[in-house]
Amino acid sequence: MRNTFLAFVMVFCIFSCKKDNNATTTETLKGKWSTGGYDIILYNSSGEVVSHSVADAIKTYWTFDQSQIKLSNDINADVKTSNYKVLNTVGTRTLMVENAAIATFNNWIVDELSSNAMVISAQINDKSQLTYGKNQVAAKGVKAIYLSREP
């Protein structure tokens, strides 16, 4: 009976220590990053690409500290600020910007992140941004921004 009880306690301990696969952690981004351009890809309802625009953006600087993001550029001296957080859920990082007016979207997926480069993307849902060709409207779209760390 005692061995059965100890075995039960051991099994209980093992399962209680099992890591939750749906755990969400909070991360931060740090430093000053600049845009290297962006892509806008539009898809039809079959998932085929119907438009792909590549552009060099006005160099915009994204400066992250513990809780705020500051956006500025070479043309306009105004600095726009918003709170942000990065949630990591099962390996997918989501950059959540409180004020969408400064970064176009509230939620960005961090597709790539290294010490010197970052790629973020967002789903385009606004019909006015899904228009292509002669007043055709795509079923969905993705905007990706390529960022490089500033020295």
The identity of residue 46, as a single letter, is: S
The CATH number for 73's domain is 2.40.128
Q: What range defines the domain where residue 107 resides?
A: 22-149
- pLDDT (tens digit, 9 = 90+) per residue, 14-40? 555 545 555 778 888 999 999 988 999
Average pLDDT over residues 72-94: 90
- pLDDT (tens digit, 9 = 90+) per residue, 40-77? 999 999 999 999 999 886 889 999 999 999 999 888 87
Report yes or no on 10 lying in a domain: no
Report yes or no on 75 lying in a domain: yes
Report yes or no on 113 lying in a domain: yes
Report yes or no on 1 lying in a domain: no
Q: Are 47 and 144 in contact, with CB atoms under 8 Å apart?
A: no
Count structural domains, the chain. Answer: 1
Half-sphere exposure of 61 (CA within 13 A, CB side): 15
Report yes or no on 123 lying in a domain: yes
Instruction: Please name the residues in contact with 112: beta carbons below 8 A apart, sequence gap of 6 or more.
Output: 118, 119
Report yes or no on 126 lying in a domain: yes
